[in-house]
């Protein structure tokens, strides 16, 4: 079976770090977002975040639990999802997924 790299071109920023908080994978959008700052695979994950966000990221790596929230900058909203990733039950690092949210995004209650 051929490997399919579906994350490469999705319209979301995807960054994966290892247990030492070193970026081991970025998709195309993440590479483009961080290229002007020289951030790339091999960079420390905390170096990809502003000072105010670093304590939150450090806490996520410590507690090894998911976190999600929304952000807004210049009228553009994003859904931010962080989750630890594991291999055979062993903590291997953190995944950060940032998804653009349309201004008119619907909300459905499915009870």
Strand ranges inside the chain, DSSP E: 13-17, 23-26, 67-73, 76-87, 90-101
- Mean pLDDT over 57-81 rounds to 94
Cβ neighbours around 101 below 10 Å, total:
13
What percent of the chain clears pLDDT 70, i.e. is strictly above it?
96
Cβ–Cβ < 8 Å for 24, 93: yes
Annotation: CATH topology of 13-101: Beta-Lactamase (3.30.450)
Reported as a single tens digit per residue, the pLDDT across 9-18 is 999 999 999 9
SS3 93: strand
What is the b/e burial string over 25-38, where b = at least 16 CB atoms within 10 angstroms of the residue's CB? ebbebbbebbeeee
At residue 18, the pLDDT reads 96
At residue 109, the pLDDT reads 95
Q: Spell out the domain ranges in the chain.
A: 13-101
- Mean pLDDT over 68-75 rounds to 93
Reported as a single tens digit per residue, the pLDDT across 36-67 is 776 788 888 888 888 988 999 999 999 999 99
């Amino acid at each position: 079976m051929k490997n399919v790299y579906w994350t490469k071109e999705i319209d979301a920023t995807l960054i994966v770090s290892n247990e030492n908080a070193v970026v081991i994978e970025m998709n195309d959008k993440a590479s483009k977002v961080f290229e002007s700052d020289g951030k790339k695979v091999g960079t420390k994950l905390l170096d990809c975040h502003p000072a105010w966000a670093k304590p939150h990221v450090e806490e996520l790596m410590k507690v090894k639990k998911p976190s999600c929230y929304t952000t807004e900058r210049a009228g553009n909203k994003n859904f931010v999802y962080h989750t630890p990733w594991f291999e055979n039950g062993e903590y291997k690092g953190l995944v950060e997924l940032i998804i653009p949210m349309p201004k008119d995004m619907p909300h459905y209650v499915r009870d």
